[in-house]
Amino acid sequence: MRSRQRTFAAVMRLLLKCLRLGRRRRFKLVRQAEQLWHYGHLCLRSLLYNSFTNGDVVLDSLFEPIYWLVDHVTRWFGVVFVALVIGLTSSVVAIVYICLLPLILQTYTPAWICWHLAYGHWNLIMIVFHYYMAITTSPGHPPQAKDDLTGVSICRKCIAPKPARTHHCSICNRCVLKMDHHCPWLNNCVGHYNHRYFFSFCLFMTMGCIYCSISGWEMFRDAYAAIERMKLLEKERLQVAANQTYYQTPPPTFSFRQRAFHKSVVYLWVLCSSVALALGALTLWHAALITRGETSIERHINKKERQRLQKKGKVFRNPYSYGSWDNWKVFLGVDVPRHWLTRVLLPSPHLPRGTGLSWDLPPCVMEPRVPLLAI
């Protein structure tokens, strides 16, 4: 009996020792896993540490694959967008010449006919000229040799000199002087040498669409009412044909030419009104940027810099702004009063002020620039 008790006690002691060893081993494994986790976390933070890292940088890194996809899609579909702009504009011009111009010549007074012919053709010439120049003119790229430039940084993507106001376009894969944005409707970047062409195209296209919308409002109402009458008569004709015992259908009330005319007028008015609203908003946005002497990219940079300096009790001043009126004169290349006619109201291929590599005070600006920082 005693031997059985001793054997049972020995087995229980052995079992308890095994449990203690297993528990200690488990605790040891947990401690080792925690140490490895903290060590890996510390290594990751040491490798990725940057004093400028914030939530925006993390979001940009997460969305990098989406940016890559959008850049490649935009690059390949740029030609399609340009063809779409040319096709839609050509369709509107064809409708005006085929449908509206004969009606204007028959019903309007000679004074109004002269006005429509003069303004319409002038607006069309300005649109075609500036769009052609915007898509064919290079926005400007910095030279590859650093010896030609002083006081510039290096682009971290193309490893090339990066002058002031220059930014890298991920779609063109090149640095662009005074880059504003990459426009898929131009299949080109908007930069130093074609920024004026881009804005002028947007402005004159908006003016042309507003002109067509206002001038064709009464025609649009008549055409829309005629289309509604077409639908009603077509419905009645089908009902009559269904009640007849023979298969002869009555002749159509409206001819094909009448249907095409009314639908073309409705198409023209709807398209011009839609483009006027969308492109008009974009034109106003760029007009506000030009008034402040900024580009689309610089607006975001200056906003962050303004907030950063505001926390320190300082005021940010844009070093490339010369005042609202002078900013427009520099942007449009107006040096003397007659340039408002020859360079703004008429097609002009003149180059912008400067080379885009340095930004000296233009001769047309009388007042000196404000300092970069002011306390």
Is the CB of residue 175 less than 8 Å from the CB of residue 160?
yes
**Exposure string over 266-304, b if 16+ CB within 10 A, otherwise e:** bebbebbbebbeebbeebeebeebbeebbbeebeeebee
Give me the count of residues in the chain.
375
DSSP 174: E
Sign of CA dihedral 55, 59, 62, 64: negative
Report how far residue 177's alpha carbon sits from residue 143's, in angstroms, rounded to the nearest whole number. 10
* One-letter amino acid for residue 360 of the chain: D
**Exposure string over 139-159, b if 16+ CB within 10 A, otherwise e:** bbbbeeeeeeeeebeebeebe
SS3 242: helix
Residues tagged active-site: 183
Report how far residue 361's alpha carbon sits from residue 374's, in angstroms, rounded to the nearest whole number. 19
Report how far residue 353's alpha carbon sits from residue 361's, in angstroms, rounded to the nearest whole number. 10
Is the CB of residue 226 less than 8 Å from the CB of residue 190?
no
DSSP string, 108-140: S-HHHHHHHHHHHHHHHHHHHHHHHHHHHS---
CB atoms under 10 Å from CB of 56, counted, come to 10
Report how far residue 289's alpha carbon sits from residue 27's, in angstroms, rounded to the nearest whole number. 64
